[in-house]
Amino acid sequence: MTANPPSKPSSQEQPMFRHELYPYRGDAHFLSGTLGYIHEALEGGEAVVVAVPPDKASLLRDELADEQDVTFVDTTTLGSNPGRLVGAWVAWMKERGAGDRPVRGIGETAWREARSAAHLSELRYHEWLLNRAFARSSAWSMLCPYDDADEDQSALQSLSRCHPLIRQDGHHVRNEGYLIADEYPFEVLNPPCDPFQELSYTHGDLSAIRSKVSQCASDAGVPEDRLRKLAVAVTEIATNSIRHGGGSGTLRTWTQDSTFLCEFRDAGYIPDVMVGRTRPATDQIGGRGLWLAHQLCDLVEIRSTPDQGTTVRLHTDVPPRS
């Protein structure tokens, strides 16, 4: 991660949306940076939305004395799927920014609570997608605190690629390590664990797909209430796959590290990286299937390129057997 002194970057280098990474160590360092950011916003007549872990929220509440222009939100209500976060931030920022009022967000992800390497990858992808989601939103900005006390510089450097700016000594500076690209460099998906089940499908096979997934998920220990949610997600993804993926595809299912996975592969291509990340408008055509999958599953991984087609993996947590 490399930061340069403040300068006037081109519009390509610095989006209208101000997205800052704030590496800190310890509670005192956390408070100095976030409180400075908040007071700067309040002095400018801006509203603030804070989404940080409960212990950090308590520290800030003690310092802010119930400041009315600062709203605390609880991201734990969204569940573990990072694919729900962009939509939540859009809703929170719009609500606080009524009448075009500028809004600042403070969002600290609970990185150390990530359940797997796949979760970590999707959390980083969420941070990168914020730049796309709010690219034209000059009235919104966000500070992302990151506790680098464990001195894992590789993790910090990887995260810095998702932030155009870095907060240092109360000011933001341009981040030369920011990834200015139209495509995110995903980690390659690991192959399914043995043993896995496989089914080729085409038009007219939705019933067979649902039956296969239901049986495999039940055998893996997915509880009944989660089976019903998974069935809806599977129907949506399989329907999209058949309709937009060339009329056929391959389903694979397996269990790995207390997670049941369904994977759909087809020849289609999804060009819009934001599909499924924000709630579809009532008059919107398409995009509802992936939105529902994100709401119903614990994690959704999507890999899509024009030359290799599309892979969608649905993750459902499996509780320990009693």
* Domain containing residue 236: CATH number: 3.30.565.10
Residue 214 lies in a domain: yes
Q: How many domains does the chain have?
A: 2
What is the predicted pLDDT for the residue at 322?
67
Residue 224 lies in a domain: yes
211 and 298 together in one domain: yes
139 and 248 together in one domain: no
What is the predicted pLDDT for the residue at 10?
39
What is the predicted pLDDT for the residue at 77?
87
Residue ending a domain, choose from 141, 174, 207: 174
Residues making up the chain, counted from first to last: 322
Q: What is the mean pLDDT of the chain?
A: 89
Cis preceding linkage at 54, omega within 30: no
Residue 288 lies in a domain: yes
Residue ending a domain, choose from 105, 140, 174: 174
Residue 5 lies in a domain: no
66 and 123 together in one domain: yes
30 and 138 together in one domain: yes
Task: Dig out the tokens for 182 from the structure.
Answer: 């139209």
Residue 82 lies in a domain: yes
143 and 210 together in one domain: no
167 and 229 together in one domain: no
147 and 210 together in one domain: no
CATH number at residue 162: 3.40.50.300
Report which of 43, 62, 32, 1 is spatially closest to residue 145, judged by C-alpha positions: 32
170 and 241 together in one domain: no
Residue 55 lies in a domain: yes
Task: Dig out the tokens for 150 from the structure.
Answer: 């464990």
Task: Dig out the tokens for 49 from the structure.
Answer: 């939305």
What is the predicted pLDDT for the residue at 151?
59
In whole angstroms, give the CA distance from residue 137 to residue 125. 19
Residue 3 lies in a domain: no
Residue ending a domain, choose from 111, 142, 174: 174
Residue 1 lies in a domain: no
301 and 227 together in one domain: yes
Dihedral angle computed from the Cα positions of residues 98, 100, 103 and 107, in that order, rounded to the nearest 10 degrees: 70
| Cβ-based neighbours of 291, under 8 Å, separated by 6 or more | 87, 276, 277, 278, 279, 280
112 and 237 together in one domain: no
35 and 132 together in one domain: yes
- The whole domain housing 56 covers 18-174
What is the predicted pLDDT for the residue at 101?
87
For the chain, residues with pLDDT lower than 50 are 1-15
| Cβ-based neighbours of 37, under 8 Å, separated by 6 or more | 22, 104, 106, 143, 167
220 and 117 together in one domain: no
